[in-house]
Structure 1
Amino acid sequence: MEYLAHLFETSEVTIRKDLTALEESGFLLRRYGGAIKLPTEMNEESQEQLSKQKLAIASAAANQIRDHNRIIIDSGSTTGTLVKALHHSGLVVMTNSLALANELIALECEPTVLMTGGTWDARSESFQGKVAANVLRSYDFDQLFIGADGLDLTRGTTTFNELIGLCQVMAEVSREVIVMIESQKIGRKMPNLELEWQQIDKLITDDQLDPNVKQQIEALGVEVIVAK
Structure 2
Amino acid sequence: MTDRKRDERISIVLMLLSQRGELQVRFLPKVLGVSGATVRRDLAMMEETGLIRRSYGKVTAARRGAELPASVRLSQNTEAKRRIGALTSSLIPNRPLTLVLSGGTTMDFVAKNLAGRSDLTVVTNGLDTATSLTARQLVHVVVTGGTARSLSNDLVGKEAEESLRSYHFDFAIVGADGISPESGITRHSSRGAEIDRIMLEQAEHKIIVADSSKLGKTHQAKVVDVGAVHTIVTDSQANPAIIAALRKTGVTTTMVVVPPTVHNGRVRFT
TM class by shorter-chain length?
Answer: 0.7 to 0.9
- Contact 1:23–1:29 (CA under 8 A) maintained in structure 2: no
Q: Is 1:54 matched up with 2:86?
A: no
Unaligned runs of 5+ in 2: 1-9, 34-72, 258-270
Matched with 1:133 is: 161
Percent sequence identity over aligned pairs: 27
Q: Is 1:210 matched up with 2:246?
A: no
Matched with 1:96 is: 125
- Alpha-carbon distance change, 165 to 25 in structure 1, aligned in 2, over 3 angstroms: farther
Matched with 1:82 is: 110
CA distance in 1, matches of 2:83, 2:217: 21
Matched with 1:114 is: 142
Q: Deviations over 1:34-61 (max 9, x none)?
A: 77787437xxxx9877111001101110
Deviation larger for 99-108 or 57-66: 99-108
- Contact 2:108–2:132 (CA under 8 A) maintained in structure 1: no
Q: Is 1:66 matched up with 2:93?
A: yes
User: How far apart are 1:184 and its partner, in Å?
Assistant: 2.0
- CA-based RMSD of the aligned residues comes to 2.7
Matched with 1:40 is: 32
Q: Is 1:29 matched up with 2:58?
A: no
Question: SS of the residue aligned with 1:105?
Answer: helix
CA distance in 2, matches of 1:197, 1:24: 31
Q: Deviations over 1:133-176 (max 9, x none)?
A: 11111111111111111112202111222212111111111111
Q: Which amino acid aligns with 1:50?
A: N
Matched with 2:178 is: 150
Question: SS of the residue aligned with 2:218?
Answer: coil
226, 231, 246: which one aligns with 1:197? 226
Matched with 1:17 is: none
Question: SS of the residue aligned with 2:190?
Answer: coil
CA distance in 1, matches of 2:181, 2:152: 24
Q: Which amino acid aligns with 2:77?
A: L
Q: Which amino acid aligns with 2:79?
A: K
209, 226, 231: which one aligns with 1:180? 209
CA distance in 2, matches of 1:139, 1:47: 29
CA distance in 1, matches of 2:91, 2:256: 12
User: How far apart are 1:28 and its partner, in Å?
Assistant: 5.4
Unaligned runs of 5+ in 1: 1-21
- Alpha-carbon distance change, 115 to 48 in structure 1, aligned in 2, over 3 angstroms: closer
- Alpha-carbon distance change, 209 to 193 in structure 1, aligned in 2, over 3 angstroms: same
| Pair member with larger Rg | 2
User: How far apart are 1:93 and its partner, in Å?
Assistant: 0.6
Deviation larger for 206-215 or 60-69: 206-215
User: How far apart are 1:132 and its partner, in Å?
Assistant: 0.9
TM-score (normalizing by structure 1): 0.78
- Alpha-carbon distance change, 26 to 220 in structure 1, aligned in 2, over 3 angstroms: farther
Q: Is 1:124 matched up with 2:152?
A: yes
User: How far apart are 1:24 and its partner, in Å?
Assistant: 11
TM-score (normalizing by structure 2): 0.67
CA distance in 2, matches of 1:53, 1:168: 25
CA distance in 1, matches of 2:172, 2:13: 23
Q: Is 1:167 matched up with 2:196?
A: yes
- Contact 1:153–1:186 (CA under 8 A) maintained in structure 2: no
- Contact 2:180–2:226 (CA under 8 A) maintained in structure 1: no
CA distance in 1, matches of 2:82, 2:162: 32
Question: SS of the residue aligned with 1:83?
Answer: helix
CA distance in 1, matches of 2:209, 2:80: 11
Aligned length: 201
